[in-house]
Amino acid sequence: MNYKSPEADKWNIVKEYIGENNITLGPYFSYQLMNTPRHILFTLSHYKFAAKLLGESKRILEVGCSEGLGTVILAEFAKKVVAVDIDGDAIEHAHRNFTSERVEFLNLDFLGAKFDKFDGIVSFDVIEHIYPENEDLFFSSICNNLSREGICIIGTPNETSDQYASKVTRMGHVNLYSWERLRNTINKYFDNVFLFSANDEVVHTGFYPMAQYLIADVG
């Protein structure tokens, strides 16, 4: 006699509802998942924080979207997200995994680019990869794409935490910021800058020198 539990029927109904959609992570997030999975949690928590700050029904530009894993969090309640990255392979994975009318992925160099005036701009883990001589061009490009009443959210590892970073994490870092330097640099381009600290997945307003990660709310 074969007994079929009601729990099995329940899960079959759930599986039928969610469908057979699958994604294959690209090399960047696959490496994180296999080696330092907690860092994916940290990254996604920063995106959730940014989405909450921006609010609903906004037109958002994401600078440095990589494989698009965080982009889908921004897009959940946005009107439109234009997500750009210089890495063509990463954009291919983003296209393959995340198809939505509210998201447009573009493979291009953001420096000097002019798209439109957006309600919000989000850029996580990008400025530490921008050479110092291109810093002005990066921030000028942010200004040229942000509406007058818009909000920009920029996240970067704190220079004080670099000594604890892995070899892979540090390989591309050419321009790390302390909290003072980040604030002073952004103040050249914007009137209002508020810095948040982040330790692991927790975003707070605590002591900046002990923060692992810095998030600037700019407007």
pLDDT in tens, 56-99: 999 999 999 999 999 999 999 999 999 999 999 999 999 999 98
**Global pTM value:** 0.92
Domain boundaries, the chain: 37-218
Q: Could you tell me the two tokens for 171?
A: 């390989």
Residue 168 has pLDDT above 80, yes or no: no
Name the phi and psi angles at 98, rounded to 5: -125, 90
Identify the CA nearest to 153 among candidates 95, 209, 203: 203
Lowest mean pLDDT among 21-25, 101-105, 167-171: 167-171
Query: In terms of DSSP H, where are the helices of 36-191?
Result: 37-54, 71-75, 88-97, 135-145, 167-171, 179-186
| b/e code 162-198 from CB counts within 10 Å (16+ = b) | eeeeeeebeeeeebbbebeebbebbeebeeebebbbb
Q: What is the CATH number of domain 37-218?
A: 3.40.50.150
Nearest residue to 203 via CA among 42, 60, 72: 42
Rounded Cα distance, 212 and 202, in Å: 10
pLDDT band at residue 3, thresholds of 50, 70 and 90?
low
111-142 burial, b at 16+ Cβ within 10 Å, e below that, comes to eeeeeeebbbbbbbbbbbebeeeeeeebbebb
